[in-house]
Structure 1
Amino acid sequence: MSIETLIEQATIPPESGFVPSNPFDADSFDEAVMSTYARFPLALERGAGCRVWDTQGREYLDFVAGIATCTLGHAHPAMVEAVTRQISKLHHVSNLYYIPEQGELAQWLIQHSCADRVFFCNSGAEANEAAIKLARKYAHTVLDIEKPIIITANASFHGRTLATITATAQPKYQKYFDPLVPGFHYVPYNDINAVEEAISELDEGDYRVAAILIEPLQGEGGVRPGDVAYFQKLREICDETGILLIFDEVQVGMGRSGKLWGYEHLGVEPDIFTSAKGLGGGIPIGAMMSKKFCDVFQPGEHASTFGGNPFVCGVALSVCQTLERENLLQNVEARGEQLRSGLRAIAAKYPNYISEVRGWGLINGMELQADVALTAPEIVKAAIDRGLLLVPAGPKVVRFVPPLIITEKEVDMALQAVEQAIATITA
C-alpha cells in the first residue's frame, strides 16, 4: 500500500459529518496524567505520511515528527509490514539469549558508521547514560583516572535522567533535582579556547578530564550547528591526550542532517556516539555505539531489559533499510535547501522580527530577534491554526523537523502557513 493510499484512507472529508465515537476529554486526561508537559490544546489520533488528524477530523501537516523521530512519517508501508511481521513472530525475549534481529541491526549500523560495537537501550537519555558509564569505566581502567570529569557544552541537551540532566548544561532542566551527579564541567559551544582552558584547569590531583560529550548540532539549544574547525581541533586534542570524544547524535543522526550521521558534516569521527529518535522511526529504541578500543564493558556491568528486543530491532532495521533503499538522504538535502531558502525569504520580509535561519538537512531553526516580544510558542500556536505543526527550541527559536519523506509541495505548504502566521501576529 502506498503513502498516497494511506493518506486517502486516513482523510475524512468535511462533508462526512465526522464525530468521534469517544469525544476527547482533556479534563479527564489532565486528571489522570502528570503535568510534565505544557500541552497545546490538540488531540491527535491518526496519521499517514507527513499528515496527522485530530479527534475532530482536522488535518495538519506535521513538521514536528514526534520531535525529529518519525523518520518515515506515519503509517509508512515498510513499518506497517515490519511491525505486523515481527509482532506475529516474536516480540520480546531476554538479552540472556542471542537475538538475531538485534545482531542484524547492529551489523547495519556498524557497516554504515565508524562504530565497531553497539549497545541497545530504549531512548536517547539511556543511550547517553550508557556512554557516560562507558567513559567512566574507561577512565578508571585504562586512563587510571581516580575522579573522571566529562566536559559538556552550555545550552546542550542530553536527556532527563539525573546524569544526563547534569550533563545538560541548562539550569532550567536541573532546578529542584539537586544534588546533581558530580563529574561534569561546562564550556561554551564552538569555543575551543574554553575547552583547552578547562582541560588545563581541571587536571589537578585525582581529577582529570576523561571525555568530551557534545552534539554535532545543538537541537534543544536552538538548532546551532557545530563549527568544522572547532570539532577538528577537539579531535586533535582528544588524540593527543587520550580523552574520549563522545557525540550525542540522538536528534541529528539517522539521516536528519542530510547525511546519515552528523559527524560526517564535521570531518571527524567520534570514539563513542549515541542514537535514538529517528533510529526506530517512532518505535522506542536507543543505541550507544563505540570504537572497539573503548568497549570495556563486561557482562553484568550494564544492561537493559527491553533494549534491543526482537520487535524494536526488527522495526528499526526496516527503517534503516528504507532510508537506504529509497535514497532519502538525497530528499533530505533537497527539501532542506528548499526550506531554508523559503524561511530566509520570509526573514527578509520581517527583519525586525527574525534574526537568522540555520540548520542542516531537515533540522532547521528560525531565530527571532531578542529584543522583540514575539516568541517561538506564539508562532507555533498561530501555525496550528493554519494546519501546520511546529515545535519551539527554546523561547526564541522555531524548529522545523518534518519526516524525511516530506515532499516539495508539502514544504511549500508549510512555508505559506508560516508566513501567514507571522503576518497575522505582527499585523
Structure 2
Amino acid sequence: MSIDINNKQNQQVSEYINKVLDLIEKEEINETEAAWITKETVDGFREHVNPGFLEYRKTVTEGGQFAAVEWSDNGSCFKDVNGKEYIDCLGGFGIYNVGHRNPKVVKAVTDQLKRQALHSQDLLDPLRAMLAKILADITPGDLKYAFFTNSGTESVEAALKLAKMYSERTTFISTTRAFHGKSLGSLSGTAKGMFRKPFLPLIPGFRHVPFGDIDMMRKTFEVCTTVGEDVAAVILEPIQGEGGIILPPEGYLKQVRELCDQYGSLLIFDEVQTGMGRTGKMFAAELYDVVPDIICLAKAFGGGVMPAGAIVAREDVFKSWFPNPFMHTTTFGGNPLACAAAIATIGVLLEENLPERAGEVGAYFLEKLKKASKGHEDKVQEIRGQGLMIGIEFHQDEIGYEVSKGMFDRGVLVAGTLINSKTIRIEPALTISYEEVDKVVSIFKDVLGNVNA
C-alpha cells in the first residue's frame, strides 16, 4: 500500500516538475500562466520557504504588490510575470554592475557549459589559473594569489582564516555599522546586534570600534598589545554599504594602513559591495590610494549571472597555504562557469570603461537627487555617495518605507540597508542610461512630495 502511495506521490511531483520546466522554457507566458506562477510563488513562500518574506514585502509595497513575482531581466531593468517593467536601483544589492544578463557574460557561461560545467576537483582547471592571473594584474599593489569562493561571506571567512594562519594571532578589529556577512566568522565582524544576538557567543577575539574614529582605532591597538592580544587584522569596508553608504573621513584609511604596518597586523578590505567598478574605480582602495593585504570580492564579481567570489592576497600572506592547499577549500568555489562569468565581467568593465562611467553617472545622479530633495529637509536628512553607490537617509524609518513603496508602485526598485534602516540605497547597473536616471529622479521627487513627514 505504501509503495502505491509513494509511486502516486512521485508521479505528481514529476508532473509538477515538468510543468515548471515547460514554463522555464517559454520565452513568453500568458495571463493564466502568470496567475498560476504568482499563486504558486506566494503559497510556496508561505508554506515552504519563509512566510516572513511575505510580511516584509507587505511593509515595503503598496496594496497587493507584495506578491509581485520577478520573471525576466535585461539591461538596467527587470520585469514581473505580468510584464510590468522596473528600473532596478537595488541591483541585487550591487551584483548587476555590468547590467542584467550582459550578453558577453551570458555567452561566456553558456559556451563553457557546452563543454564542461564543473571540474573534477583533482586535476588542474584552466580558468581558475587564468582568472587568478587577471586578478593579480588588476588589483592594487602587490596582491598576487587568489582563492575563489561562492559568496561574500565565504570570501570574508577565507580572509579571516588566512589572517589567522599568517601570524597565529587571533584578535580582529572591525567597526560599528560594519557588514561582513552572516556565517559565524563573518558575523563576528558584522556590527548589527539584531543579527548577532541569537548566535552568541560568536568567534572570540573580535573588537568593534567606531568607523572613522582613528583615535579609538589607535587606542584599541595599544590596549590589545598591552594585554598580549596582538591584532591579527583590521577588516573594513572602504565605504560602508549596509551601514548606510558611509564614506570614510579624509585620510582615515591611510591612517589605518599605517597602524597596521606599525603593529605588524594585516589590513583586509571587504570590497564585496564596493569592488568591480561600483565607486568609480575598479576597487574602492584605489580611490583612497591604500593597498590592503587581502581584498574580498563577490556580488558583482560573477557579472550578475553566476554566484562567484574571491580573495586576493600578497604572496607573503598567502604562502601559509602553500604547504597544504587543502587547508581551506570549497567544492564549488572557482568552478568553470563562475570563472568564465568573472573573466567576461572583468573584460566588459575594462572594455566599456564602466568604472569611470560609474563615477560620472554617479556624480550626475547624486546632484539630481539632492536638487530633487530641496524643500524636503524635514524628511531627508542627507543624500551621499560615491560613484553609483548612493544612500538617501531620512529622519525616520517610516518615511523611507513610504518612499520605497511609492517608487516601487511607479516602477523603480529601491530598498533599505540592513544595518541602517533609515537609509535607502541606490545601486543600479553601471550601464544605467542618463534617461533612466532622470526618470528615477523624477519619480523620487514626485513620491517625496506626497509623503507626510
Q: TM-score, normalised by structure 1?
A: 0.91
Residue from 303, 308, 330 that aligns with 2:334: 308
Cα 1:340/1:285, change in 2 over 3 Å: same
Residue from 375, 398, 411 that aligns with 1:387: 411
**Structure 1 residues 264-291: Cα deviation after superposition (integer angstroms, max 9, x where no partner):** 1111100111000011022101101111
* 8 Å contact kept, 1:72–1:319: yes
Range 37-46 or range 17-26, more displaced: 17-26
What is the CA-CA distance between 1:216 and the residue it aligns to?
0.1
SS at match of 2:231: strand
SS at match of 2:424: strand
* 8 Å contact kept, 1:347–1:356: no
> Which residue does the alignment assign to 1:291?
314
Q: Quick one: distance in 1 between partners of 2:120 and 2:283?
A: 30
Cα 1:254/1:373, change in 2 over 3 Å: closer
List gaps (5 residues or longer) in structure 2.
1-25, 59-65
The reply to whether residue 377 of structure 1 matches residue 393 of structure 2 is: no
> Which residue does the alignment assign to 1:347?
373
Q: Quick one: distance in 2 between partners of 1:23 and 1:280?
A: 28
Residue from 352, 372, 375 that aligns with 1:326: 352
The reply to whether residue 368 of structure 1 matches residue 394 of structure 2 is: yes
Residue from 118, 129, 151 that aligns with 2:157: 129
What is the CA-CA distance between 1:181 and the residue it aligns to?
1.1
> Which residue does the alignment assign to 2:46?
30
* 8 Å contact kept, 1:101–1:314: yes
SS at match of 1:182: coil
> Which residue does the alignment assign to 1:401?
427
What is the CA-CA distance between 1:223 and the residue it aligns to?
0.3
* 8 Å contact kept, 2:76–2:99: yes
**Letter of the aligned partner of 1:407 in structure 2?**
S
Q: Quick one: distance in 1 between partners of 2:126 and 2:337?
A: 11
Identity across matched positions, percent: 34
**Structure 1 residues 178-198: Cα deviation after superposition (integer angstroms, max 9, x where no partner):** 121101000000100001111
Q: Quick one: distance in 2 between partners of 1:186 and 1:10?
A: 50
Q: Quick one: distance in 1 between partners of 2:32 and 2:76?
A: 21
> Which residue does the alignment assign to 1:214?
236
> Which residue does the alignment assign to 1:51?
77
The reply to whether residue 264 of structure 1 matches residue 290 of structure 2 is: no
Q: Quick one: distance in 2 between partners of 1:195 and 1:379?
A: 36
SS at match of 1:203: helix
Larger radius of gyration: 2
The reply to whether residue 164 of structure 1 matches residue 180 of structure 2 is: no
> Which residue does the alignment assign to 2:147?
119
* 8 Å contact kept, 1:256–1:404: yes
Cα 1:17/1:284, change in 2 over 3 Å: closer
* 8 Å contact kept, 1:367–1:398: yes
Cα 1:349/1:211, change in 2 over 3 Å: same
Q: Quick one: distance in 1 between partners of 2:299 and 2:333?
A: 14
Q: Quick one: distance in 2 between partners of 1:10 and 1:403?
A: 23
- Taking the TM superposition and a 5 Å limit, the aligned residue runs for 1:58-207 are 58-114=84-140, 115-140=143-168, 145=169, 148-207=170-229
Runs of 4+ in 1 over 6 A off after TM superposition: 9-12
Residue from 216, 225, 234 that aligns with 2:247: 225
SS at match of 1:159: coil
List gaps (5 residues or longer) in structure 1.
1-8
> Which residue does the alignment assign to 1:3?
none
**Structure 1 residues 136-170: Cα deviation after superposition (integer angstroms, max 9, x where no partner):** 11121xxxx4xx20000001000010111111021
Whose helix proportion is higher, 1 or 2?
2
Q: Quick one: distance in 2 between partners of 1:344 and 1:329?
A: 22
SS at match of 1:22: helix
**Structure 1 residues 106-147: Cα deviation after superposition (integer angstroms, max 9, x where no partner):** 11111111221100010000000000001111121xxxx4xx
Q: Quick one: distance in 2 between partners of 1:184 and 1:253?
A: 24
Q: Quick one: distance in 2 between partners of 1:27 and 1:234?
A: 50
Q: TM-score, normalised by structure 2?
A: 0.86
Q: Quick one: distance in 2 between partners of 1:339 and 1:97?
A: 48
**Letter of the aligned partner of 1:100 in structure 2?**
P
SS at match of 1:417: helix
> Which residue does the alignment assign to 1:6?
none
Alignment size in residue pairs = 408
Cα 1:10/1:61, change in 2 over 3 Å: farther
Cα 1:358/1:111, change in 2 over 3 Å: same
Q: Quick one: distance in 2 between partners of 1:119 and 1:380?
A: 38
SS at match of 1:211: strand
Q: Quick one: distance in 2 between partners of 1:213 and 1:353?
A: 34
